[in-house]
Structure 1
Amino acid sequence: MRMIGRMLQVDRAGRQRAIRSSWPQLVDFLSQHPEWVLRKAKQLLSRMELMRAEGVTDPKEKALLVLNMFLKAADTTFETFIQSVCMEFSLPMELEIMFMSVSREAEDHVARVEENCEAVAAEFPSTSTTHERRRPWSGPSSTRNGKESKQQCLDSAERYRQLIITSMRQRYGVYRSGGDTQGKDQPLAFGQAFVSLVIRQSRAWRIKKRKDRAKEEHDVEEAHSDAPLRLSDLFETVPTGATKVVFLLGRPGVGKTRLVHKICEQWAERNLTQFHMVFPFEFRQLNLIERKLSLQELLFDFFLRPDVCPDAVFEHLLENAQQILMIFDGLDEFVENVHLSLSSHVLPSGHRSPLSVAELFVGLCQGKLLPGCTVLVTTRPKIIPQMLLKTITQQAEIWGFDREKVEEYAECFFCHHSRRDQALACLKSNGKLLSMCYTPALCNIVCICLEYLFLQNAGNVQLPQTMTQFYIQMLQTFIRKHQKQSSPSEEAEWDQYQLALQGLGKLAFRGLEEKKMLFYAAEVPEQVKGFASLCGFLLAFGVKTRSGHTQAGYTFVHFGLQEFFSALFLLTSTSVDAASLKEKFFLRSKWLLKKEAKMPFTENCHVFLSGLASQECRSFLCSVAGQSEAWVQERQAEVIRLLKKLATPRLTGPRISELCHCVHEAQDRGLAQHVGKQLDFTYRFRNFRLMPLDMMALAFVISSAPDPVSLDFVGCTMDLDYLHVFGSCGNIKNLSFKSRKCGNKFAAALSKNLPSMNCLTTFQLAGGNLTIQGLEPLIQAFLNCSQLEDVNLQDNRMKEQEMIKVAEIFSTMKRLKMLE
């Protein structure tokens, strides 16, 4: 409140400077209401002054002239005019606060704000079920009491805004100071400096916008569709006044929640100035709310309560909804049926009606609650209720890191490390490690393991080969960091923590079964709580349950860790037999279940199960399970059998990619050969992005096949730096690409790897943006492909005369039979 006082009690010269600075905004606003301006002029200006405007016929021009007169008028006239503007119009909040300070009564008012909160609450009773916005010309004049009440509302709102800023700086300010704030026991990068993520418009959204802009050139749309988005680009949408709904999609671990935290931190540092207040919520916590509540209760009881005049603050929020950002993180974690809230009944009217969390969320997205606000929602891809698609005004996808971002992150992570140069060199030179690091959460785990391994074995470092093996290495790293004395062997080390690991796995699996990521303290066994908190696998924080009450809660540091421990439970628990393992193999459930409501909660548990089924993990499983090698080997064999049954000729591209991930994690060449045979050694991919790790997994399966294979990509996005993985597969016979994304850069990168494909007989690069300049490196590569018989370059950007010259060059290739 002292801050507000200082702001209002400016000296006269400072006040005049502020008025001149903000006056153009006010003029722009009032130029839309010329009749009101002229009416006020007749009430407040002299007849002689009004005569100067008589010759102007256009109402807007006359209003602009009159406003200039008010600016030059006597102080009392100007102040009276400004008071009328502030009382009779809903100005933008910052403009309103500035001009309210012009009132001579403002100084007396500041000292009375807290004393009059009860009067404000009486004027805005919480029992009201309707809300009326102020309307221009609502009364002949403004009263002192009305003026004071409005100023009190502004002051209370500004005080609340400062509370939110302070809270967010305390909670998210760790990003500002980078690695120095990282606690010793934090396993993940929450204390590391934030590295910007690669964000692009989602493919579905681009298609929708392309249809909406049917008159534009197709190629122009494609050329700009993949441009990365800045953080500010997410909120640049739709006309003023309408609710804006922004959906931010991303796979688990790509940094959705981290980005939400960054948005809050940026706002608290006043970098997102279009928003006056930001309210972040996590669905993992909203899941715990069982009762119905009003919008005001959601904002104040489950986020942050104003310390004065909550009813006045809420009224202010309603009047200034266009400057409010509502954030809902993790829609995929929301267990309540949002579809029911969308279609079963009409939402009750009024902002104080008690509603379920789902109804509040839907009401905000549909603009029925807090109309005009911006709603940001994060979720996994394909987890968007169909009926909410109509409300979306922007849809983007987080891709995670690219090579440049991986190197930036690693530079930051190892900036003070004694083995910095060795670790960075190892990471940059190892394509498999880099491919894992394109997922930010996994990048952090890789860096943690590299740090420990280089400290322990500076000379000869044995690196894990799969994502699952890196998780095991991370687990071992943090156990060893907190051991009071070293164990005589690795087996003895695991044996020491057997019960804690089993308990943590049981907790994680129960969370997946019940579709939750947050656990009350009473749900976590004491032994598990002590072990997991010490090693940093669980984070503790306060969970708001009802007004004024909090309980201690725990959540896994990130969802991937919960999935890993769930898979560990399934393979080591004696309560899970072969039939149960088959039932809980989530990839099978994901493919067989059609209804979204029944879809498994997990995204990667089946990948970890496959990784744990590798021979390299057998001794680890024996120690955790406390069972013989034969017992564990039978459980692993069951997982391999399940994977074999999933391989059928009818698999589509995304399913092929998921299955290849599992095969790669299992590191089983026999399994890879079986999958290839079942797919008839033909891999077709349509219209989705292959991440570097997808390409590495696919290459593992292809290179394991005893027969030649065919690869067919249509409309797929892939990283150019990883096209070399196909060059390492000497058994590719047919290779086809069809996409407007395939241009000269793509051709240059691919041409470096074609000669190593010794079996290549058919090549197609059709429907692309290839020009004669891009074709030149391809031609040189073709000349070194001794088995090439068929080349298709149709529907690119090459002229007929250029193709004639190309045909002459191709004529020197003896085995070439067809050129299109």
Structure 2
Amino acid sequence: MYYLGEALLQQILQDEGEHELTELEETHREHLRETTQNLVEHRPPASPQEKQSFRISERFVELTVVSTNQFRLPSEDELIETGVKHEDCLQEKQRNLEQITLNKLFRFSRFVGCEPHAVMVTGVPGVGKTTLMQKFVYDWVIRKIYQRFSYVFFFKFRDLNQLEEVTFEKMILQKYSYLENDLDIILKDPQKLLFIFDGLDESKHKVDFKLSHVRNTKQPSNIGEIVASLVKQSLIKGCYILLTSRPTKLESVDIRVFQRIIEIMGFFSDERQRYFKVFFDNEEFSEKAFNAVKKNDILYTFCYIPSFCWILCTVLSLCTKDQPSSSKLCGESLPKTLTQLFVTFVANILSNHSPNQESVMAVLKCLGRMATYGMENQILVFDQLNLRSLEIITDNYLFSSFLIESHEPSVVAFLHLTVQEFFAALIHYISFDLKKLKQSLEEALLGGRCEIFLRFLSGLSDSNTRSMLKSQGTLSTDASKVVISWLKQNIKDALENKKCIKSKKRLLNLFYCLHETRNKLLVVESIGSTQCLDLSKVRLSPLDLAILAFILESCEETDQLDLESCNVQKEGLNKLVPALHTVKNLSLRYNLLKDSSCEDLASAIGTNKKLKKLDLSNNYLGGSQFFNLAEALSSPQCLIEELLLSKNDLTSDSCFHLVSAIKNNQHLRKIDLSTNKLEGLGLDDWKTALSNQACRLEELLLNRCELTSNCCINLAVLIEKTPTLKKLDLGNNHLAGPHFPKMMAALSNPECWIEELILRFNCLTHDSCIHLASAIKHNKSLRRLDLSGNRLEGDHFVDLITAVFGSECSIEELLLQNIGLTTSSCTKLTELASGEVIEPCLSKLDLSHNNLSNEDSNRLVKALLIKELIT
């Protein structure tokens, strides 16, 4: 470790130190300075023809980069999945993810135990991979990072695609021709060389990292083989390699060759806000614009992507171009959905350029053909061969508003993947073809990577959204009808297959499509007004819950909403609460809700006049804010009949607030407080509350609440003074002890109307059987008794059995699992059943897990005239 520390210190000093440069090194740095010092942004509509150029040091907004070895499965859309992961990263990056800066990319990696020579930078389209690499090179040029490298070579695969077979040396000289006379000398010191290759996913050559054919710098090969050989260190051993790629590309390559893999997460909230400030000149306007966008969950979530931020800010500037820059942004005038945003973006470009309608439609059709071809063939960069096969000539200046040309004008790409997907959807409304549209819909749904494309198709079904493009020509209403019909059928199919996780995820994606339509009537027609929505075990982000809120608000009533194990947390719950007034039964079991969510839950209870059952089991609601939830139960607006709070870290203090709240509640019938630390339960308060005439509680579940024999005193009073109580679950406690007889005496009281008593696993012994037998003889209401898991076998067990088979007993169901039953007791049971006794009420007797012999079991079956005997 000491050696490692010394080596690391020397490396840091070398990277940050000033070194005298040769004339050639100065020339190389100056060349890279010229190509990286400016950030070129695509020009907004109605601006001068020239692209906008900014100093990268002034315009660059820091991106969040984390070290990770995890990649998404191909079942999720890249942009959506990262949006979900983005919010998770806020909580996880300090624990499981290592946030990393540019100057540490090639520092010692604890995951592989060495200094990395090959590093992969991954991120979704538009998240800033190329810009980050440009910033990396520029920072090296100005001596800010990695001065250990004498030469950094920066390549883009979209440019390298133009090269067929080429030698490694010619590949370098093709871009850095001034190195021709000295390249042999430069390559002899590989430890001072860094090669950057940007856009692996755009390479037309196969890059197989399992192979490394090239071992000579003068050997002609294709670009894929050269890059693979560099990474595998077979071409020039000791050099450093930095690659970028979309995550989906890494699913098909061997990533084990990289010693460090990092992912660009894009912008978090502060970085998004800074981008707005950088984009707009007026600070007051930028703040208002940012706040307006923040209110729209979908648009704000996608702002983690820098390219999307540019599109959004461009649209905002267009929406307010006729107003003073500091004027108040009107929320009603801003786009509400992803589709409306892109329609506004396209419509403004077209109106600002004001060409004739025929020219516009021709360009839109060409863009639609390009986009569709790219999606079908997974092409992001179109070369001249692609364009010729599609019969597209991009010399019309309108193309430059939606496409980006490479440094070599022979290849083009859409501004962003979402722009490509938008035009792929729009073409179906411009040139309607029933067969092609149905095929696109089905392939997009099955593919699992075209959720945004589906949202655009759905959003364009809305006539108001389409009307924004009406000046360019009529868009097909037939396409709209087909999409709406398709949505209805697929939602119906997903709802019918409720138990399948895949169907639940598909249903959630279709909810996003419904949201894009902004058609609440369509929601009702698709889902129905009394539908059970089950999304249990599907991980839901705050954005997912905002979409779900739209669905619920569109319906008049929802019988049941099951969100068990959905990772619902405070932020997401806050978005869902306003729509819960339509839900009758709500399950939020097994989520990560803490007591800070109690205020939101209280709000949901206070505004919901339909909610009958609320299941909050297996959360973390116990705490100082629990009183908010408890107080809501005392509200006259609260109509909850069943409240489940098991396993919530509740304490006796929590119960104090709860008891106080339900004292006058006339609707509550069942409370489950199982698996909470309720020793010292404050049963004095419980017995007072439950004996109140206004209280109608019928079921009280206190399983695993750390209750002891001392609690039996107050439990006895509670049993006597609560005439409405029908079920009492006291299982898995430790009630055996000197005060247990007092509780049994309470069961004998004529005022006791308990029908079901659960005492399983309470450390009861055969001595307890005497008191149990007495209670059974005198109680006229008890129908079900569970004594499983206690060690009842012994001298007094016979008293219990005699009482059960006596004429006074009203028990219909007796559970005696795992009580240590012996052959002697089994014989006694048989004798009692065969003797001259009145036939008991008992219809079910469970004696399982008692290790009875086959002989004992057979005798019992013959002797006991019981409908259901389990042995």
Which residue is 1:664 aligned to?
Answer: 515
2:141 and 2:597 map into 1 onto residues whose CA distance is 42
Query: SS of 1:542's equivalent?
Result: coil
Which residue is 2:461 aligned to?
Answer: 613
Which aligned pairs between 1:700-779 and structure 2 lie closer than 5 A? 700-708=550-558, 709-712=560-563, 714=565, 716=567, 720=571, 723-732=574-583, 733-736=585-588, 738-739=590-591, 742-743=593-594, 755-763=606-614, 772-773=623-624, 775-779=626-630
Which residue is 1:558 aligned to?
Answer: 416
In the alignment, is the contact (CA less than 8 A) between 2:421 and 2:453 conserved in 1?
yes
2:183 corresponds to 1:310? yes
Query: SS of 1:604's equivalent?
Result: helix
Q: Structure 2: which amino acid aligns with 1:243? A: H
2:348 corresponds to 1:477? yes
Query: SS of 2:404's equivalent?
Result: strand
| Number of equivalences | 628
In the alignment, is the contact (CA less than 8 A) between 1:730 and 1:757 conserved in 2?
yes
1:717 and 1:366 map into 2 onto residues whose CA distance is 44
Q: For the structure 1 residues 248 and 529, does the alpha-carbon distance in structure 2 shift closer, same or farther, using more than 3 Å as the test?
A: same
Moved more, 556-565 or 267-276: 267-276
Deviation at 1:715, TM superposition (A): 6.1
In the alignment, is the contact (CA less than 8 A) between 1:688 and 1:715 conserved in 2?
yes
In the alignment, is the contact (CA less than 8 A) between 1:156 and 1:313 conserved in 2?
no
1:774 and 1:303 map into 2 onto residues whose CA distance is 65
Question: What CA deviation, in whole Å up to 9, does each residue of 1:761-787 have, x standing for no partner?
Answer: 454556666662354554455655724
Aligned match of 1:406 in 272, 283, 298?
A: 272
Which residue is 1:211 aligned to?
Answer: none
Which residue is 1:169 aligned to?
Answer: 36
Question: What CA deviation, in whole Å up to 9, does each residue of 1:36-81 have, x standing for no partner?
Answer: xxxxxxxxxxxxxxxxxxxxxxxxxxxxxxxxxxxxxxxxxxxxxx
Q: For the structure 1 residues 262 and 342, does the alpha-carbon distance in structure 2 shift closer, same or farther, using more than 3 Å as the test?
A: closer
Which residue is 1:326 aligned to?
Answer: 196
2:410 corresponds to 1:540? no
1:770 and 1:672 map into 2 onto residues whose CA distance is 33
Query: SS of 1:415's equivalent?
Result: coil
Which residue is 1:507 aligned to?
Answer: 370
Query: SS of 1:710's equivalent?
Result: strand
Query: SS of 1:531's equivalent?
Result: coil
For structure 2, the residue ranges without an aligned partner over 5 or more in a row are: 74-90, 675-871
2:426 corresponds to 1:568? yes
Query: SS of 1:510's equivalent?
Result: helix
Q: For the structure 1 residues 583 and 402, does the alpha-carbon distance in structure 2 shift closer, same or farther, using more than 3 Å as the test?
A: same
Aligned match of 1:196 in 44, 54, 62?
A: 62
Question: What CA deviation, in whole Å up to 9, does each residue of 1:610-630 have, x standing for no partner?
Answer: 222222244466665x56x7x
Query: SS of 2:438's equivalent?
Result: helix
Question: What CA deviation, in whole Å up to 9, does each residue of 1:515-553 have, x standing for no partner?
Answer: 32333468387874333255x32223333xxxxxxx543
Deviation at 1:311, TM superposition (A): 1.9
Q: Structure 1: which amino acid aligns with 2:458? A: S
Question: What CA deviation, in whole Å up to 9, does each residue of 1:332-370 have, x standing for no partner?
Answer: x456555xx356x66454565544444444445555555
Q: For the structure 1 residues 206 and 636, does the alpha-carbon distance in structure 2 shift closer, same or farther, using more than 3 Å as the test?
A: closer
Using the size of structure 2 for normalisation, the TM-score is 0.60
2:51 and 2:605 map into 1 onto residues whose CA distance is 45
In the alignment, is the contact (CA less than 8 A) between 2:39 and 2:59 conserved in 1?
no
Query: SS of 2:59's equivalent?
Result: coil
1:436 and 1:680 map into 2 onto residues whose CA distance is 30
Deviation at 1:184, TM superposition (A): 6.7
Could you say which structure has the larger radius of gyration?
Answer: 2
Q: For the structure 1 residues 428 and 566, does the alpha-carbon distance in structure 2 shift closer, same or farther, using more than 3 Å as the test?
A: closer
The structure with the greater share of residues assigned to helix is 1
Question: What CA deviation, in whole Å up to 9, does each residue of 1:132-156 have, x standing for no partner?
Answer: xxxxxxxxxxxxxxxxxxxxxx848
Using the size of structure 1 for normalisation, the TM-score is 0.64
In the alignment, is the contact (CA less than 8 A) between 2:627 and 2:654 conserved in 1?
no
Question: What CA deviation, in whole Å up to 9, does each residue of 1:579-613 have, x standing for no partner?
Answer: 1122223xx325535xxxxx87x663222222222
Which aligned pairs between 1:412-491 and structure 2 lie closer than 5 A? 412-416=278-282, 423=289, 426-427=292-293, 434-435=300-301, 437-456=303-322, 462-483=333-354
Q: Structure 1: which amino acid aligns with 2:335? A: P
Question: What CA deviation, in whole Å up to 9, does each residue of 1:146-205 have, x standing for no partner?
Answer: xxxxxxxx8487346514542443454889xx99xx977659999983333444566947
Q: For the structure 1 residues 475 and 706, does the alpha-carbon distance in structure 2 shift closer, same or farther, using more than 3 Å as the test?
A: same
Q: Structure 2: which amino acid aligns with 1:635? A: A
For structure 1, the residue ranges without an aligned partner over 5 or more in a row are: 1-23, 33-89, 102-153, 208-219, 485-492, 544-550, 594-598
Deviation at 1:634, TM superposition (A): 0.9
Which residue is 2:638 aligned to?
Answer: 786
Q: For the structure 1 residues 761 and 379, does the alpha-carbon distance in structure 2 shift closer, same or farther, using more than 3 Å as the test?
A: farther
Q: Structure 2: which amino acid aligns with 1:465? A: K
Structure ranking higher on relative contact order (CA contacts 8 Å, 6+ apart) = 1
Which residue is 2:80 aligned to?
Answer: none
User: Over aligned residues, Cα RMSD in angstroms?
Assistant: 4.9
Which aligned pairs between 1:91-490 and structure 2 lie closer than 5 A? 155=22, 158-159=25-26, 161-163=28-30, 165-172=32-39, 193-200=59-66, 204=70, 224-225=95-96, 230=101, 236=107, 237-238=109-110, 239-250=113-124, 252-273=125-146, 276=149, 277-289=151-163, 291-301=164-174, 306=179, 308-316=181-189, 318-320=190-192, 324=194, 326-329=196-199, 331=201, 333-334=202-203, 341-342=208-209, 347-350=213-216, 353-366=219-232, 368=234, 375-385=241-251, 388-416=254-282, 423=289, 426-427=292-293, 434-435=300-301, 437-456=303-322, 462-483=333-354
1:269 and 1:173 map into 2 onto residues whose CA distance is 19
Deviation at 1:710, TM superposition (A): 1.4
Query: SS of 1:455's equivalent?
Result: coil
Aligned match of 2:549 in 690, 699, 702?
A: 699
Q: For the structure 1 residues 658 and 253, does the alpha-carbon distance in structure 2 shift closer, same or farther, using more than 3 Å as the test?
A: farther
Deviation at 1:811, TM superposition (A): 4.8
In the alignment, is the contact (CA less than 8 A) between 1:156 and 1:312 conserved in 2?
no
1:384 and 1:29 map into 2 onto residues whose CA distance is 32
Deviation at 1:508, TM superposition (A): 2.8
Q: For the structure 1 residues 95 and 605, does the alpha-carbon distance in structure 2 shift closer, same or farther, using more than 3 Å as the test?
A: closer
